[in-house]
Amino acid sequence: MTITSTPFFQLDYGGKIEREIAHLIALFEESNFNTGPYSRRWLAIKLLEKDADILERVKGIEGGEKIIEIAHERAGHVESMLGEDFDLLTADRRYGYINGVVRQSLNRPLVDRVTLTDRIDNIVTHKWLGLPLFFAVMYIVFRLVIDVSAPFLDWIDAVIHGPISSWLSSILSFLSAPAWLSSLIVNGIIAGVGGVLVFVPGLLILYFFLALLEDSGYMSRAAFVMDCFMRIIGLHGKSFIPMILGFGCAVPAVYATRTIASRRDRILTALLVPLMSCSARLPVYVVFGLAFFGSRAGTVIWIMYALGIAVAMLAGMVFTRTLLKPDVSSAFVLELPPYRQPALKSVLIHMWENTSGFVRKAGTTILMVSIVMWFLLNIPWGVTNKQDSLFGRFSTAIAPVFAPLGFGNWETGGALVSGFMAKEIVVSSMSQIYLGNGDSQTAEPTTLAEDAVFITKGFVDATVSSAKILVSIIPGVDLVGDQAQTENTGLSSALQQRFTTLSAVSLLVFVLLYVPCVATLGAIKHEFGTSWAVTSAIYQTVVAWIIAFMVYQGGLLLGFG
């Protein structure tokens, strides 16, 4: 921990509490609530703490009752997750901070009392061991996410493209639905939304482990360990906390920069946050990883995450020397809470909240884009070759831009453009383009009982396979042998025909780095203005193109093509 002078201090109350504070502040702004002489942040904290005096005063302000009701609801939500009263949680943070300051400011006689937390910290925050350990932890997490979720991914894929497609086709033919409507539902919606929903098990596992790391107290250590690296790019460890949030979703991560005192640091952090690989990119990695790297997909995905961090550092160094020169040295006092056993309820709530957000997005944004995509792929009406459709023509026109990167086909160009709405749409678009013309009605008809047996048996098999894979993580135990290889899904097979391993890697790099999704750009615009949102979009796309170009052309020169 280091302390330096700072012109403006704002205590960081930690992810969950900060999210609620930001939510209330946003509510004040949206409802034009007059906070009077109080700062918005201070008032939000006091309302969440249910400060009796403040509640009485706010009741007297127009719209105050509604604000209080929402504040109580949000505080109750945090209390149910963390199992403590809100005011106790904030007081805990304050005392933790004070304790951190006192420990750094006072020299006391050395007391021979080393706690278990101290012993663990001696290793995980070690000058040389800390960083490799952090990357090792993240590597294990991503291996677990990919390996353990792979059998479930196959199962959901089989269920969606088997019984569910078959049921819908039967219902539509029973209702004598027109052919175009059947095609829209089966080839548009099922292929698009279903192509994304298959990744729900992977996300559940990812969020489970991220919640586990956060609640155990390790994530604070990760921020501490990254401090030295962050200083190289003119930031400090505090900026790494929004970046860690960025592994989940860049939108809350951009808002989480509000805890950073300096505006310059906030802008720089927000520009780097989208380079952290968010969970929306995971479906793209998993599809390409399993198609081209099989059992080594976990390693490839880990490399993508590490590459995101590395590029963020390089970009930070460039920004620090050009647009965003350091102003004043900022403080970084981070309380390292004692390690504790994560509360299962809190972990499960965290896991469900994030995954349900993904599912909601599948039911709204991705559904909408899938429908629009289907129409664009079928206009002019009756077009048989998709390349002649409106979408195909537009994609063909922009495809040459991607040709030097190894994926100059119109399908990929179009999918990347649609991914601007949300990154997982890249997968749903590819599913629609490559699989959308499949005729589900040609499959042999099955009874409802047969489908039920198929679904149940598939689930049991997936559970057993995942359990075996999980146990096989223990060194010396191998219950899976060569069976760990996942089956090729329809999309994987289609991709293998159109990409080489090198062009697949190049595409993964491009997807990792190119323009943030529209929601992230909206958050950056809201926080810092249009010019920074435009800067973010342009610089990321240019960087993505250059690095993907280097990967592909460099690979060709080295004979990997």
Partner 1 sequence: MFVQLIHLLESKENGLSLAEISRAMDAQPSAVMSMIYLLVQKGKLIEIGPDGKYCSTCGYESQCNVLATRGKRYMVAPIS
d(CA 85, CA 120): 29
Residue 527 CB-density burial (10 A; 0-12 exposed, 13-18 middle, 19+ buried):
middle
In eight-state DSSP terms, residue 364 is I
d(CA 273, CA 521): 11
Comparing CB distances to partner 1, the nearer of 93 and 236 is 93
d(CA 324, CA 268): 7
Residue 314 carries which side chain, given as an amino acid letter?
A: L
Least Å distance, CB 12 to partner 1, is 15
Give me the DSSP letters along 466-514: HHHHHHTTSTT--SSGGGGSPPPPHHHHHHHHH--HHHHHHHHHHHHHS
Q: What are phi and psi of 332, to 5 degrees?
A: -140, 95
Q: Which residues contact 438 (CB under 8 A, 6 or more apart)?
A: 187, 191, 490
Structure-token match 């099922």, residue found? 190
Least Å distance, CB 93 to partner 1, is 9
Comparing CB distances to partner 1, the nearer of 87 and 451 is 87
CA-based radius of gyration for the chain: 25
* Alpha-carbon dihedral sign for residues 529, 530, 532, 537: positive
Q: Which residues contact 255 (CB under 8 A, 6 or more apart)?
A: 19, 22, 26, 523, 527
Comparing CB distances to partner 1, the nearer of 91 and 368 is 91
Least Å distance, CB 344 to partner 1, is 17
Kindly report whether the peptide bond that precedes residue 380 is cis, defined as omega within 30 degrees of 0.
yes
Comparing CB distances to partner 1, the nearer of 339 and 394 is 339
Query: What residues make contact with partner 1 under the rule CB under 8 A?
Result: 84-85, 87-88, 91-92, 95-96, 98-99, 102, 108, 111, 113, 337-338, 340
Least Å distance, CB 132 to partner 1, is 29
Comparing CB distances to partner 1, the nearer of 111 and 449 is 111
Helices (H), 177-325: 179-183, 191-197, 200-216, 218-232, 240-246, 250-256, 263-272, 282-293, 297-321
Comparing CB distances to partner 1, the nearer of 189 and 213 is 213
Least Å distance, CB 96 to partner 1, is 5
Helices (H), 129-190: 130-159, 165-174, 179-183
* Residue 329 in tokens: 């040295």
Comparing CB distances to partner 1, the nearer of 341 and 497 is 341
Least Å distance, CB 89 to partner 1, is 8
For residue 2, the SS3 value is: strand
Comparing CB distances to partner 1, the nearer of 50 and 231 is 50
> Interior CA angle at 488 toward 485 and 493, to 5°?
140
Least Å distance, CB 94 to partner 1, is 9
d(CA 398, CA 393): 9
Residue 306 carries which side chain, given as an amino acid letter?
A: A
Least Å distance, CB 391 to partner 1, is 55
Least Å distance, CB 19 to partner 1, is 20
Least Å distance, CB 115 to partner 1, is 9
Comparing CB distances to partner 1, the nearer of 97 and 532 is 97
433 sits in which H/E element: helix 425-435
* Alpha-carbon dihedral sign for residues 422, 428, 434, 439: negative
| Contact (CB, 8 A) for 332 and 227 | yes
Least Å distance, CB 335 to partner 1, is 8
Report the Cα–Cα distance between both ends of the chain, in Å, rounded: 47
d(CA 187, CA 166): 12
Comparing CB distances to partner 1, the nearer of 75 and 243 is 75
Least Å distance, CB 129 to partner 1, is 25
Comparing CB distances to partner 1, the nearer of 23 and 72 is 72
Comparing CB distances to partner 1, the nearer of 8 and 95 is 95
Q: Which residues contact 304 (CB under 8 A, 6 or more apart)?
A: 277, 281, 285, 508, 509, 512
Comparing CB distances to partner 1, the nearer of 119 and 179 is 119
Comparing CB distances to partner 1, the nearer of 86 and 285 is 86
